[in-house]
Amino acid sequence: MQDALAISPEQWGWVGTVFLLGYAAFEIPSGHLGDRLGARAILTRIVLWWSVFTAFTGAVSAYPLLLLVRLLFGAGEAGAFPNASVAISHWFSPATRGRAFGLFTMCSQIGGALSPLLVLPIQQAFGWRMSFFVFGSIGALWAAAWFWQYRDRPSTAEPALVEHATWRPILESRDLWAIMGLTFGYVYTMGFFQTWFHTYLVKGRSFSEQALSLSALPYAFGAVANLLGGLTCDWLVARVGIRWSRRFVGMAGLTSAAAGMTCALFATSHFAVILCLSLSYAGVTFQQPVVWASCLDIGGTRGGVVSGFMNTAGQIGGAVSSVAFGYIVKATGNYNIPLIPMAAFLAIGALLWRLVDVTCRIPMQSEKAVSV
């Protein structure tokens, strides 16, 4: 795509950033709609939008048009994770949500790892545009299956009491701001793995094409760590309570992530670099299920909109990361220097977990009974 549309490395950074900006702008409204209307309807709309704009991405003919498509793509896909959280909140108790989010986030890691194995053969046989058309079609089929199969609540569940809150209690929640701060930092780091990882290995660490086969290791570590983090959290709930189960997993994950990123700065061999970065990525994903579960803990029936606030902070972090990495390298001529703010953000995030008390639920103003 970069060759066909004559996109420079700096311009490519903006392709990822405009998507994340659109995504961040509509996370909270989409989470709010999920709370009010249910995940069945909203996730169907989101995936259909995703499918259409995936196909549009394959049809673009110029860089400015690509930026517009990616901006609208992000705006429409926004709310996917908050609405998945709404679905989990309706079907799993607080004591079992860790494993539910662990499995959910693990599958997203596996999808990312498998994507190149599916995309490359399609591109080699039919060109890069066809891969977007194929995946857009798959998304439309998934949306139809989801709407037909999923129900917002178990059939035995009572009609939901949907609480109403003004924005002020949400915005004044210290716990939410702490979660948003640590999410900004860890998604800033994940943004590196999503947009600059392979460039860093080749240009910053002199990896050959053959050595790039090691680049799948962080995603394999990350998938396993997602599930282990969720299972560990649920195991700890019965032993230390929900407050410390969330804190322990969060602090342990981001502390190890910061340590791994710091070690990567000083690693010399190819294997050591990949191993350190894999351990850092695994630390991030170990605590990821707990971040989402904590939003449901403090948000209650407004978990969708609270998750939207959290993920908005994260997407801003990812957007900043996508652009900042390129400019730091351009200013310093060193591909290692951008890892320093990542290690710092991860360490700060570990400290912020100590401020999160998920037993302090955000107060709601009133309640309204609705059928969903």
Q: CB within 8 A of 247, min separation 6: which ones?
A: 353, 354, 356
The overall longest dimension of the chain from CA atoms, in Å, is 61
Judge whether residue 156 has pLDDT over 70.
Answer: no
Query: Token digits for 97?
Result: 């949500």
Query: Token digits for 109?
Result: 């890691």
Judge whether residue 157 has pLDDT over 80.
Answer: no
Query: Token digits for 129?
Result: 């545009």
**Which pLDDT band, with edges at 50, 70 and 90, does 368 fall under?**
very low
Residue 334 φ/ψ region, left for φ over 0, alpha for ψ in the -120 to 50 degree band, beta for the rest: beta
Q: What is the pLDDT of residue 162?
A: 56
Q: Residue 4 burial by CB count (10 A; 0-12/13-18/19+): exposed, middle or buried?
A: exposed
For the chain, give the mean pLDDT: 88
Q: Which CATH number fits domain 9-369: 1.20.1250.20, 2.160.10.10, 3.30.540.10, 3.40.50.880?
A: 1.20.1250.20
User: Which residue type, as a one-letter code, is found at position 94?
Assistant: P
**Which pLDDT band, with edges at 50, 70 and 90, does 122 fall under?**
confident
Query: Token digits for 193?
Result: 């793995």
**Which pLDDT band, with edges at 50, 70 and 90, does 245 fall under?**
very high
Give per-residue pLDDT as tens, 168-226.
888 889 999 999 999 999 999 999 998 888 888 988 898 887 677 778 889 889 999 99
End-to-end Cα separation, the chain, in angstroms: 43
Strand pairing class (161-164; 366-369)? antiparallel
| Domain ranges for the chain | 9-369
Min mean pLDDT across 9-13, 50-54, 70-74, 363-367 is at 363-367
Please say whether the beta carbons of 15 and 67 come within 8 A: yes
Query: Token digits for 359?
Result: 């037993």
Q: What is the pLDDT of residue 164?
A: 58
Q: How many CA atoms lie within 13 Å of 343's alpha carbon, on the beta-carbon side? A: 16
Q: CB within 8 A of 254, min separation 6: which ones?
A: 182, 185, 186, 283, 284, 287, 346, 347, 349, 350, 353
| C-alpha–C-alpha distance, residues 186 and 179, integer Å | 11
Judge whether residue 29 has pLDDT over 50.
Answer: yes
| Cα–Cα distances in angstroms (integers) from residue 255 to residues 249, 252, 266, 281, 336, in the given order | 10, 5, 18, 11, 20
Give per-residue pLDDT as tens, 336-358.
999 999 999 999 999 999 999 99
| C-alpha–C-alpha distance, residues 164 and 305, integer Å | 11
Rg over alpha carbons for the chain, rounded to the nearest Å, is 20
User: What 3 state SS string does the chain have?
Assistant: CCCCCCCCHHHHHHHHHHHHHHHHHHHHHHHHHHHHHCHHHHHHHHHHHHHHHHHHHHHCCCHHHHHHHHHHHHHHHCCHHHHHHHHHHHHCCHHHHHHHHHHHHHHHHHHHHHHHHHHHHHHHHHCHHHHHHHHHHHHHHHHHHHHHHCCCCCCCCCCCEEEECCHHHHHCCHHHHHHHHHHHHHHHHHHHHHHCHHHHHHHHHCCCCCHHHHHHHHHHHHHHHHHHHHHHHHHHHHHHHHHHHHHHHHHHHHHHHHHHHHHHHHCCCHHHHHHHHHHHHHHHHHHHHHHHHHHHHHHHHHHHHHHHHHHHHHHHHHHHHHHHHHHHHHHHCCCCCCHHHHHHHHHHHHHHHCCCCCCCCCCCCEEEECCC
**Which pLDDT band, with edges at 50, 70 and 90, does 6 fall under?**
confident
